[in-house]
Amino acid sequence: MTARRRLFDALFLDRDGTLIVERGYLSDPSGVRLSPGAAAGLKRFTDAGTLLFVVTNQSGIARGRLTWDDVNAVNAEVERRLRVRGVPLAGFLVCPHYPGGTVAAYTRRCRCRKPGTALHRRAIRAFGLRPERCAVVGDKWDDVGAAVALGAAAVHLLTGHGRSHRRAVEEKAPGTILARTLAEGLARLEALPQSVKAGHPSP
C-alpha cells in the first residue's frame, strides 16, 4: 500500500453530535454510538499521519449534571471503540466550565469553552502543529468559530445540533464546508486540493 500524502497535521473533532450520536449529558458509556462511518473515515486520516483530537465542551460538569468520572468513562469508551478499529486518538481536550453553572469550581467564563481556542492551542503547541494545516469538525457554531479564530479549515455537520446552527455558520463563516454526515464531511476534507487552506481557495 502506498503512503498517502498528509493533507492535515491534525483534526479537532467535536464529540457529541459529531463523533458520537448526540444523547444530551451522556454519562453512561453504554450509550456511546459512533457516528456512521466514523471509524472508516477517520482511519484514512490516521493512515495518512494526521493526528486526531477530540475537543469537547462538557458544561454538564459545571451544571452538576455530570461528574469528571462520567465524562472520562464516556471518553474512554469512545477511545476504545475507535482504537479497536485501528484509529488511535491523540487526546481528549475537555472544557468543564459554564458561566451559568451551579458547581462553584467550574462556574466561570474561560478561554477553553468553544468557540474559545485554549484547548486547541494547547495541542498545537504540544505537538508542533500548524493551525492552517488543521481542520475542525463539529455540529455547532462554537466549533466553526474556533476554527475561524485558529485559521483552520472548518466542517459543519448537519448531525446533532447542526441544523439549528447552520444559519449562524453560513452567515459568519461562509468558507465552511457543510456536510450531512461525518462520513461525508471527512470525504470532503480529503478531497480538498492541496492549495486550499482554511476554506479559502487560492485564486
* 77 contact, one of Mg ion, Zn ion, none, CB 5-8 Å limit per kind: none
Torsion sign across C-alpha atoms 157, 158, 163, 169: positive
For residue 113, state whether it binds Zn ion (rule: CB under 5 A). yes
Task: Please list every residue from 40 through 99 that binds Zn ion, using CB under 5 A.
Answer: 95, 97
Q: Which helix (H) or strand (E) holds 149?
A: helix 141-150
* 97 contact, one of Zn ion, Mg ion, none, CB 5-8 Å limit per kind: Zn ion
Torsion sign across C-alpha atoms 91, 13, 120, 153: positive
* Nearest CA among 106, 93, 4, 110 for reference residue 49: 4
Q: Which span sits near Zn ion by CB under 5 A: 30-38, 112-120, 125-133, 145-153?
A: 112-120
Q: How far is the CB of 114 from Mg ion (least distance, A)?
A: 9
Selected from 73, 110, 178, 183, the binder of Zn ion by CB under 5 A is 110
The residue whose Cβ lies closest to Mg ion is: 17
* 131 contact, one of Mg ion, Zn ion, none, CB 5-8 Å limit per kind: none
Catalytic residue annotation = 14, 16
35 φ, ψ (degrees, to nearest 5): -60, 145
Q: How far is the CB of 96 from Zn ion (least distance, A)?
A: 6
Q: How far is the CB of 143 from Mg ion (least distance, A)?
A: 7
* Nearest CA among 17, 7, 2, 39 for reference residue 138: 17
Burial of 181 (0-12, 13-18, 19+ CB in 10 A): middle
* 14 contact, one of Zn ion, Mg ion, none, CB 5-8 Å limit per kind: Mg ion
Residues that bind Mg ion (CB under 5 A): 14, 16-17, 139, 160
Q: How far is the CB of 170 from Mg ion (least distance, A)?
A: 18
Q: Which helix (H) or strand (E) holds 43?
A: helix 38-47
Contact 101, 64 (CB under 8 A): yes
Of the pair 7, 17, the CB lying nearest Mg ion is at 17
CA distance 107 to 120: 21
For residue 34, state whether it binds Zn ion (rule: CB under 5 A). no
Write out the residues near Zn ion by the rule CB under 5 A: 95, 97, 110, 112-113
